Amino acid sequence: MTKSISLTLLRVNKHAEARRRRARSHLPPRRCRRHHRTTRDITQHHYCESETSSSRDQSKVNERIRLETEHMLENGWCPHQVKHLSELYHHKVFSYLSKLQRSPHRLADHKNCSSHEACVAYNTDPTSYTIRHTTPDCACLHVSTPYEDLVQIIRQGDIPLISIEVGSDSTALPKVRVHSRSRESKYVAISHVWMDGMGNPKANSLPVCQINSLHANLLALQGFLDMDKGPILFWMDTLCIPVGREEMLLRLIQVDKMASIYKGAVTSLVLDAELMATVAGTDTDPSSRRLSVETRARLSCSVWMSRCWTLQEGELPPTITVQYLNTAVIMGRRSEKDGSYVERFTTLEVVQSIDMTISNEAEVGPADLLDLDPQSTNSSPFECDCVDIALEKAFYTTFFEETHSFPHVWNELAGRSTTMPEDVPLIVTNVMDLDNRELLKYHNSGDMFKAIILSLNRVPLSLFFNAGPRQSGDNRDRWVPVEVGADTLTPEDGNLTVSASYLLYQHPSADDVQKYLLYVIEGLVRVDRTIHLRHQDSNEVYTMEAADCITDQLGTHGYGSTCLIIENSFSARSPGTRRGACFYVPAARNVKLKHGFPRSHTTEKPELNLVFNCPVRLQRSHACTISSGDNVVDSVRDLDLITYSCDIKIHYEPMPNFKALPKRRKKYNIWDDDTQARDVIFVFIFLSVSAFSLGALLQSGKSDKFLDLFPLLCLFVYLGVVFTIAVSMSFATTLSNKLEAWRYVRDFEAIAAKRLLDTAV
């Protein structure tokens, strides 16, 4: 019976989760008012034009992007952000963004960013961190979280929530209270940029002015988000995560619970200094007010959108609330049942609402879009909406589509930065809903990324083309990333299956659609210089170079030939260039090989064993062909294209005692702990009455009344037994949950102790 009830609860939860996914994924279409009759779509990635654009047109686009990039860099933009925006958006959208004037709140020095893999201008140093007040001349006191209450809740395996009590006396300091989260708790999760000064690396406290400002913003949302009357609950890392080296255990527990914290929140309140200084909408009639394209563009280019931790803080909650100077905008679906996305405006004084349909489709024409200058005052009823629609779609694709696959998370993090790169694997697992306990046992990001990748059902082959930072040395793990590189992964790419010591890629024959081309070169090719390669069938010549990140090469001992896996498509931004990876084929003893395969293989599907060397880039040579009379013919290596179906095994170093990261387990409980005492009393009274009635009836058993009341007595006894079993199940579930919480804390105590020991050594 216990098993059947658990299965029923599991099915109910799965159905509810399915309904939630369907609600979140609905994006009603919206078309540009000026270009709704045309067919081109700038809401897609700029690569979508590659098939229809001529080389001459693409050259003009590239030149225009180059000029706009130079203009943005001269105006103080980060080179990494400019590159990311140019690759993320259609060139017409990028042209609009290049005209934005950055806010004084974001005048940062990006001169050191070019020498790093990501932007470092907004990183913070705990030793010199400055906690800011709401105004430069303010010098108010700090208000702290009750530390003992905070620690007690975390050590019990629960999640602390904060409330602020503001007295009627304006001179009195606000009070911060700590509460333990329950199933009924409705709270707001705060998402902020530490560069703006709302963090505190030394204590769980904030200035009074910041506390009062935070309370005012939350108060405006309370009724609008259908939150309970009374203290407004919220979670904020500054106030809820204990600081200090000695508190590593508590900090690790809170970091592991980040996914649960943000998933359980009513909304995520975004606090970004630039956005909070931006006026959203206009002062006209609220019924016609909408988020302007410039305001949306500033959101897309904000620092909040460029930080790693804020990705999960925006993806996991059901809605996102962005705080602007004059209002807060709640973005998300209309309701649990209606998945139409809306934007609702609030103010600190009154609550107002406007529903705005969000787009998943925009059709535009070849208009220049130069009239879409951010400073333009053109208010024609037929002005172009293309950029607005494209920015809307990109934002909602990032945060509200239920596509939490590894390529999706990787691509979103590729354009973001963080002060602590070692935290990025935790962000990946949180967004993908994987358990972190096994992951936190590893101490370096390379092992963490490898554990995540080996836990996937399907591994994207394009991961081997990534030119970002990766492990080095003469080993089989040179493909393992240590950071999320700037190169994106192919979203629909999931060609590799994980085995105990290798990744399996089933290469199709030439009769099928080949997304990747497989080449074999006789002998070993050292990719420490430019290599000339000639396709034997077409006689076309390519130049091959290693990616910029390569600082060493795989050793040649024990290998006999070279294999290349290359994308079967060119880059639209760099015509003639293909991404790929170079592998070495181990030399088999006493076996004659051809192209790395046994010369006379049986009817079984042929196999090719590979070890990764480095990512490469192939570019079509200016000389379309090469003949024996050319000077470089001696350095040209011939490419043999493998046209038949085969199994490719890419070997890696097995991880000792590796356990795949499981999905996070959900806890089910029929009753809450608060109601169990009442249930026990009720069962005791019920069984006592039943026993008394049974005794009375047995005393009068000789009479006919006993036979008349016997069915009712049986019903009472049956109901009592069923209710007793149900309450016993509730106790068993609660006991199991408390035991799990105890084990959970003990696991993290061991992890924290080992980390502290390794740090000391």
Most confident region among 198-202, 242-246, 677-681 by mean pLDDT: 198-202
Q: Which of 453, 475, 496 is the last residue of a domain?
A: 496
Q: How far is Cα 123 from Cα 118, in angstroms, rounded to an integer?
A: 10
Asked if 585 and 561 count as a contact pair (C-beta separation under 8 A), the reply is yes
Residue 95 lies in a domain: yes
Residue 665 lies in a domain: no
744 and 682 both lie in a single domain? yes
The letter for the amino acid at 593 is: L
459 and 557 both lie in a single domain? no
pLDDT tens digits along 712-750: 667 666 677 777 776 666 667 666 666 776 677 777 667
Q: How far is Cα 750 from Cα 747, in angstroms, rounded to an integer?
A: 5
Q: Which of 496, 518, 539 is the last residue of a domain?
A: 496
pLDDT tens digits along 10-60: 454 554 454 444 445 565 677 777 766 554 556 554 433 333 445 667 788
Q: Which of 358, 377, 399 is the last residue of a domain?
A: 358
DSSP string, 211-277: HHHHHHHHHHHHTTTTPPSSSPEEE-HHHHS--SGGGHHHHHHHHHTHHHHHHHSSEEEEE-HHHHT
Q: Higher pLDDT residue, 455 or 551?
A: 455
173 and 267 both lie in a single domain? yes
pLDDT for residue 110: 92
Q: Determine the average pLDDT of the residues in 586-592.
A: 62
Residue 599: band (very low, low, confident or very high) from pLDDT cuts 50, 70, 90: low
**Residue showing tokens 């130049």:** 543
- Give whole-number Cα distances, 671 to 458, 727, 728, 743, in Å: 39, 8, 11, 22
pLDDT for residue 231: 86
Most confident region among 15-24, 366-375, 751-760 by mean pLDDT: 751-760
Asked if 209 and 140 count as a contact pair (C-beta separation under 8 A), the reply is yes
203 and 325 both lie in a single domain? yes
pLDDT tens digits along 354-365: 333 333 333 333
With a CB cutoff of 8 Å and minimum separation 6, the contacts of 524 are 556, 559, 560, 561, 562, 584
487 and 570 both lie in a single domain? no
Task: Report the domain count for the chain.
Answer: 5
351 and 379 both lie in a single domain? no
Residue 223 lies in a domain: yes
Lowest mean pLDDT among 317-331, 414-428, 574-588: 574-588
Token reading at 88: 């993320």
Residue 109, phi then psi, degrees to nearest 5: -95, 115
Residue 740 lies in a domain: yes
Residue 666: band (very low, low, confident or very high) from pLDDT cuts 50, 70, 90: low
Q: How far is Cα 64 from Cα 413, in angstroms, rounded to an integer?
A: 27
Asked if 303 and 350 count as a contact pair (C-beta separation under 8 A), the reply is no
173 and 312 both lie in a single domain? yes
pLDDT for residue 59: 80
With a CB cutoff of 8 Å and minimum separation 6, the contacts of 468 are 117, 481, 483, 484, 485, 486, 487, 549
Domain coverage including residue 442: 416-496
611 and 536 both lie in a single domain? yes
DSSP string, 400-468: TSS---HHHHHHHHHT-B-S-GGGHHHHHHHHTTB--TTGGG--SHHHHHHHHHHTSSSB-GGGGG--S
583 and 531 both lie in a single domain? yes
What's the predicted TM-score (pTM) here? Answer: 0.80
pLDDT for residue 701: 56
Reference 461, options 583, 638, 311, 642; nearest CA is 583
Token reading at 753: 């102790």
pLDDT tens digits along 530-546: 888 887 777 778 889 88
Q: How far is Cα 463 from Cα 459, in angstroms, rounded to an integer?
A: 8
Residue 348 lies in a domain: yes
615 and 747 both lie in a single domain? no
pLDDT tens digits along 465-513: 998 888 988 999 999 999 998 788 887 766 899 999 999 999 888 777 7
pLDDT tens digits along 252-310: 888 888 999 999 999 999 999 999 988 887 534 444 456 888 899 999 999 999 999 99
Residue 547 lies in a domain: yes
Angle at 62 between CA 54 and CA 579, to 5 degrees: 80
With a CB cutoff of 8 Å and minimum separation 6, the contacts of 559 are 524, 584, 585, 586, 587, 611
Residue 417, pLDDT above cutoff 60: yes
**Residues pairing with 597 in the sheet:** 594
166 and 285 both lie in a single domain? yes
Asked if 75 and 409 count as a contact pair (C-beta separation under 8 A), the reply is no
Residue 666 lies in a domain: no
Residue 592 lies in a domain: yes
pLDDT for residue 372: 46
490 and 510 both lie in a single domain? no
Residue 143: band (very low, low, confident or very high) from pLDDT cuts 50, 70, 90: very high
